[in-house]
Amino acid sequence: MHTHPNARLTALGRERLVRRHIEEHVPLAELACQAGISLRTAYKWLARFRSGGSAALMDRRSVRHTQRRTLDPQQQQQATRLRYERCTMRRIAKALAAPLSTTGRWLKSMGLGRLRTLQPKEPVHRYQWAQPGDMIHVDTKQLARFERVGHRITADRRLGSSPGAGYEKAHVAVDDATRLAYVEVLPDEQKATTVGFLVRAVSWFNTQGISCRRVLSDNGSAYRSK
């Protein structure tokens, strides 16, 4: 017998403890205290003895009572083939006569858990105008104002807030071909402010040798205003 190195009792000692409790009616708490084990452990040995006798007091293996099933190589090959035929996991498990959980776990480990992974994604088709000035992209970004040092420096959100400080708007114009950008931080994004920014942006691009022929924006209120 290979006794656990940290065990307080051997199988013989466990049997002696249990028999003293059953035959001599010694309280189990007293016996546990004498043996240097917990009362819960003493009850465990008592329950094992009552269910299986002296043999049940032997050390048991520390492995799981039930082990996960795996697919054999032939099943794995068949599962891969059916998956590439876009079969569902339930249908594959039925064809393999294997549990659904086992089939699903193996397919996920192979990167076949989702049908969309069976074929590579189509490459992204990016467009870019050939000549500078053919397309100017304009947009805005809202920026919060700060009246005191923010929480990224103080590490305390209660001290770094600036309620009522308001916001500023970063107006951006980017040339599609060269990625050259013109930016202004303005107090709002009203129509007059936006029109003024666009006029100054076009004038600045002209100084860079770029003649603006098209402007692209989203459906922001400032760009749709009459």
- The domain in which residue 97 lies consists of 73-113
Assigned domain for 180 exists: yes
Of 49, 82, 113, the residue at which a domain comes to its end is 113
- The reply to whether 156 and 108 lie within a common domain is no
Which pLDDT score is estimated for 96? 92
Which pLDDT score is estimated for 4? 64
Q: What is the largest CA-CA distance in the chain?
A: 106
Assigned domain for 124 exists: no
- Looking at the structure of the chain, the number of domains it has is 3
- The reply to whether 94 and 150 lie within a common domain is no
pTM of the model: 0.46
Q: Which H helix or E strand runs over 130?
A: none
- Tally of CB atoms within 10 A around 140: 20
In sequence order, what are the beta bridge partners of 30? none
Assigned domain for 1 exists: no
In sequence order, what are the beta bridge partners of 136? 175, 215
Which pLDDT score is estimated for 9? 84
DSSP-assigned states of every residue in 175-221? ETTT--EEEEEES---HHHHHHHHHHHHHHHHHTT-----EE--S-H
- HEC sequence for 21-69: HHHCCCCHHHHHHHHCCCHHHHHHHHHHHHHHHHHHHCCCCCCCCCCCC
Assigned domain for 19 exists: yes
Give me the average pLDDT of each 10-residue run along the chain (226 residues). 68 91 92 91 92 86 73 92 92 92 91 84 82 94 81 74 80 94 94 94 95 92 84
Asked whether the beta carbons of 198 and 186 are under 8 A apart, the reply is no
